[in-house]
Amino acid sequence: MYSVIIPVYQAKAGLGRCVSSWLSQTREDFELILVDDGSTDGSAALCDELAKTDARIQVVHQENAGVSAARNAGVKRAKGEFLLFTDSDDYVASDYLEKMASLQADTDSDLVLCGYHHLYDGGDIQKIPGDACLWALSDFSGDFLSLYGQGYLNMPWNKLYRRELAGTFDLSLSLGEDLLFNLAYVRKCRRIAVLPEALCYYIQEEQKVTLSSRKREDRLMLARRVCDETERFYKETWGEPGAQDAYAGIFTRYMNEVFDECEKLPAQKDMSLREKLSAIRGYAMDDWVCKRGDTAILTCPDYKIVWFFLKRRMAGMVYIVCVFRRAAVLAVHNIRRIRRKGQAIWNR
């Protein structure tokens, strides 16, 4: 049997769609565990109502403690041999479980991961992790770096786990806890399989409020800890890398967090321009940024431009680039909204 864990927080609008996508699966041998994390928007009552419609649905109510605590509560309740996770405002394809379970059975894998649809402001970007592959852990080092760099190892919601190998999510973190959970799990794997299909639907909205998108304090400190843990994991699992590109790929995650923080500043209405420029100077003088910044593998053109000015400590130019980038992003979003409205009127 398979145990599906769905942490729920203030998710009344999307929870029904999420649960429906699971109840519509082509396989039925699963339990659905809804963990209400102290919701106050009616999600708790909706969980109970949904449980009345199908015997496979269980509900756990707890005081608000965060997404990691909610997932841990679901794991503790689970009875299936395998675990899967879905966020309450996302959903899955109707054959998601069938395809993941079939690949696991065919390969006797301890971990199966697949691609996903990234739905953002009306757009659908399919993320597919290359070709179908099967690795023994000893042969996984190079592909680990590739999947890590593309972001496929960060989340739990595109994976199938053996329950007996699963640990717990770190309650002390508000950033990177999913990745550290996955790293601890990979250590225990014999075989890892990849399904090159987009079977999950990850919805990202600019104003999305979920357990995993709450305001993160001390973001760079947490990002540094995740980077340290990942480099240590790589060394302990496969030894020192033959080339520094390995650690450079891991460190890139830290630099991406720095760039993300810079690019958020134009939208921060509670900060003065002086404070924003001071924050950028702080990022520029961060010791890891100074010592290792040039080793990061940057693929996004906007990140390359930001880095050009950031490493020269030209805070004003960094901010101007971020302002123009935000304006471009908002323009694209507005165009998409206008197109959607036009299509809706046309289809009436």
The residues that bridge with 134 in the sheet, in sequence order, are 193
pLDDT higher at 214 or 305: 305
Predicted confidence band of residue 208 (pLDDT cuts 50, 70, 90): very low
**pLDDT per residue as tens digits for the range 24-43:** 999 999 999 999 999 999 99
**pLDDT per residue as tens digits for the range 44-64:** 999 999 999 999 999 999 999
**pLDDT per residue as tens digits for the range 84-95:** 999 999 999 999
31-35, 145-149, 212-216, 333-337, range with greatest mean pLDDT:
31-35
Mapping DSSP to helix (H, G, I), strand (E, B) and coil, where does residue 148 land?
Answer: helix
- Pairing state of beta strands 159-162 and 111-120? antiparallel
Mapping DSSP to helix (H, G, I), strand (E, B) and coil, where does residue 92 land?
Answer: strand
Query: Distance (Å, rounded) from C-alpha 107 to C-alpha 113?
Result: 13
Mean pLDDT, the chain, whole residue set: 90
For residue 81, pLDDT over 90 is answered with yes
Helix 273-285 to helix 315-346 angle (10° resolution) is: 110
Query: Distance (Å, rounded) from C-alpha 190 to C-alpha 330?
Result: 45
| Confidence at residue 347, expressed as pLDDT on a 0 to 100 scale | 62
The first and second tokens of residue 126, run together, are 């399919």
The first and second tokens of residue 345, run together, are 């009127």
All CATH 3.90.550.10 domain ranges of the chain, comma separated, are 2-212
pLDDT higher at 123 or 229: 229
Predicted confidence band of residue 291 (pLDDT cuts 50, 70, 90): very high
Name which CATH class applies to 2-212.
alpha beta
Predicted confidence band of residue 342 (pLDDT cuts 50, 70, 90): low
Look at 133-142, 241-250, 266-275, 285-294 and tell me which has the smallest mean pLDDT: 241-250
| Confidence at residue 331, expressed as pLDDT on a 0 to 100 scale | 83
**pLDDT per residue as tens digits for the range 187-207:** 999 999 999 999 999 998 654
For residue 169, pLDDT over 80 is answered with yes
| Confidence at residue 329, expressed as pLDDT on a 0 to 100 scale | 80
